[in-house]
Structure 1
C-alpha cells in the first residue's frame, strides 16, 4: 500500500540576546514542506514577539476563530501572558524571528506593562511598536543572513530601551516577587511570597496583577506547568517515554491527576493527546529552542 510522505525542510537558529535578561530567548526559524493545519500555541511565563517574514501569522483563541473571518492576522505579533492555548494556522512554508520577552521588561521594550497585553490572543505589533517596528520588519525581510537579522533586532531593542528612561519602572516588590516565584519554579505559598516582599497578600496580588495581568497564583501555576512541559519534552527528545507521575512529583504537583488538569487547561487536551500531536515537532527540535509562541 502506498503512503504519502512529507519532506520537511527546517532550520532553527538561536541567538544569545545579551539584553540583561529582558529577552529570554531569540530563535530564527525557516520551515517548509509541513502539512498545513492548526498548531496549539501554549501559554508560557514569557511574552512573545514574532516578526513573520513569509506573510502574516493567522490564528485565534479557538479553532473556529482561527479558521474563520474573525481570525487575527499580523506580520508582527506581540503576545501577552495567557491562561489557555491559542490556535495558529500552520502554513506549508513560514519563516521569521521569535523572541521570548520577560514580562517585567514590557515597560522598557513596549512602553506599557505586560498587563495591557493580557486577555488578547495577540496584539498587532505595529500598534505596540509603532512605525519603528514596521521599519525593522521591512529590514528583516530584506536581509538574508540570520546574523544580520539578529543584529538588526538587537539594535532595535536597545533603541527601544534608550527611549524609555522616563517610563515608570516596575515596583521593586513586584520584581522580587517574580524572581522568588521563578527561583521556586512556581512552588511555595502566597503567604510565604507575601512575607518575603513585606506586603499583605491582597496588596501584593493587586500590584502583581496590575503589572503582569496575572495574580501571583496564576503566574506560579504557569511557571510550574512550563517546567513540567520542559521535562516531558526532554524525555521525548531523548526518545524516552515520559514518566508523568515522576514529572508531577518533581515539579511540585500534588499527584499525577493534578498535572493532567493543568495540561488540560494550558493545552486543551491531556498530556498523551498533546504528545501525539507534537511528537514529530519535538523530535525535530521545535521545542528545544526556548519558549515558543506558545503564543
Structure 2
C-alpha cells in the first residue's frame, strides 16, 4: 500500500494507493483525504476506464458544466459511477473530503457491475446506488465504519471478488471486442480502424457496432481517448519530476500529427489548454492526486 501526501500551508492532502487484486479488472484504487483546502472546481477528465467513487465525507457534488455543479440541479451522491465519456465532469472540491476512487476496466463492467459499460454510455456521473444496488449501499455503510485504509481496501476487495463470483456466465465479453480493446491498448491508440477490423476478422461496421454496445464508445473514440491518456500521463510524470513538459515532443512521441493536434484534444477532454490545465492541477499532481493505472 503506497502513501503520498502534500501540504499547502495548513492544507493537507493524502493519497493512498491500494491493491484490491483482480488484476485486469480493477486498474487502480486510491484512497484520498484532504482538509484545509481552498474550495475549488475540479475537472474530472475522461479516461479509458470507468470511475467508481465511494465518498467517506458527505456527497460528491458535480455537474456537466461549472454552472450545474455550482447550482441547485447539481448531482449529489455518496457513490459516484461514471461511464466512458468524452468531455470533463465538473466536481466541487470542498474544504475537506475523503473517499476511495477506483478505475475499472470497461470490459470488466459485466463482472463487476452486472451490466456492460455501454449501458453507462455518455453518463458522466450517475448515482452508484442505482448501478450497484443494495450490496453497494451496504458496502458504503461498512466503509464508513472503518477507521483505516487497510481495512477499507480489504472490504472493497471482498466485495469485488463477490461480484465476480456471482457474474460467471453473464460476465463474458465477445472475444473480438476483447482483442480489439487489447490491440488498441498495445498501440496506445495508434493504428487504423481498417487495420484493427482486419486483426479481429470483422468488418469495420460490425466491429464498431459490437464495440460501441459493449463500451459506449466507437473504436476510433476509444483510440483517441487512449492516446490522450498516454500523453497526459507523460505530462503528469514530467510535472511530478519537476520538469517543464515539452508538448511538441510529447505530441510526436504519442502519434499526434503535430503540437496543435494535441492541444485540440486537451481542449476537448479538459475544456482548457494544456497550460491552463496544468496551472489548475499542479498542486494536486505534486501531492500524488493523479495516480492512474499507468502512472
TM-score, with structure 2 as normaliser: 0.95
For 2:268 and 2:274, locate their aligned partners in 1 and report how far apart those are by CA, in whole Å: 11
Could you say which residue in structure 1 is the equivalent of 2:205? 202
Residue of structure 2 aligned with 1:45, choices 37, 45, 48: 48
The unaligned stretches of length 5 or more in structure 1 are none
Residue of structure 2 aligned with 1:255, choices 251, 258, 261: 258
Bigger relative contact order, structure 1 or 2 (CA pairs below 8 A, ≥6 apart): 1
How far residue 17 of structure 1 moved from its aligned partner, in angstroms, is 2.7
For 2:171 and 2:279, locate their aligned partners in 1 and report how far apart those are by CA, in whole Å: 45
Residue 19 of structure 2 is aligned to residue 13 of structure 1: no
How far residue 121 of structure 1 moved from its aligned partner, in angstroms, is 2.0
User: How far does the alpha carbon of each residue in 1:112-154 deviate from its partner, in whole angstroms, 9 at most, with x for none?
Assistant: 1001112222121111111111111011000011111001000
Contact 2:103 / 2:292 at 8 angstroms: preserved in 1? no
Residue of structure 2 aligned with 1:34, choices 18, 28, 37: 37
Could you say which residue in structure 2 is the equivalent of 1:145? 148
User: How far does the alpha carbon of each residue in 1:232-286 deviate from its partner, in whole angstroms, 9 at most, with x for none?
Assistant: 1111111111000000000000000000000000000011111111111111211
Could you say which residue in structure 1 is the equivalent of 2:64? 61
For 2:247 and 2:46, locate their aligned partners in 1 and report how far apart those are by CA, in whole Å: 19
For 1:288 and 1:111, locate their aligned partners in 2 and report how far apart those are by CA, in whole Å: 26
Residue 71 of structure 2 is aligned to residue 79 of structure 1: no
Q: Which has the higher mean CA deviation after the structures are superposed, 31-40 or 162-171?
A: 162-171
Could you say which residue in structure 1 is the equivalent of 2:91? 88
Could you say which residue in structure 2 is the equivalent of 1:191? 194
Contact 1:263 / 1:271 at 8 angstroms: preserved in 2? yes
Could you say which residue in structure 1 is the equivalent of 2:232? 229
The unaligned stretches of length 5 or more in structure 2 are 1-7
- CA distance change for structure 1 residues 29 and 168 in 2, over 3 Å: closer, same or farther? closer
For 1:121 and 1:69, locate their aligned partners in 2 and report how far apart those are by CA, in whole Å: 18
TM-score, with structure 1 as normaliser: 0.95
Number of matched pairs: 288
How do 1:120-199 and structure 2 match up within 5 A? 120-167=123-170, 169-199=172-202
Contact 2:20 / 2:156 at 8 angstroms: preserved in 1? no
User: How far does the alpha carbon of each residue in 1:195-217 deviate from its partner, in whole angstroms, 9 at most, with x for none?
Assistant: 00000000000000000000000
For 1:117 and 1:90, locate their aligned partners in 2 and report how far apart those are by CA, in whole Å: 24
For 1:239 and 1:20, locate their aligned partners in 2 and report how far apart those are by CA, in whole Å: 31
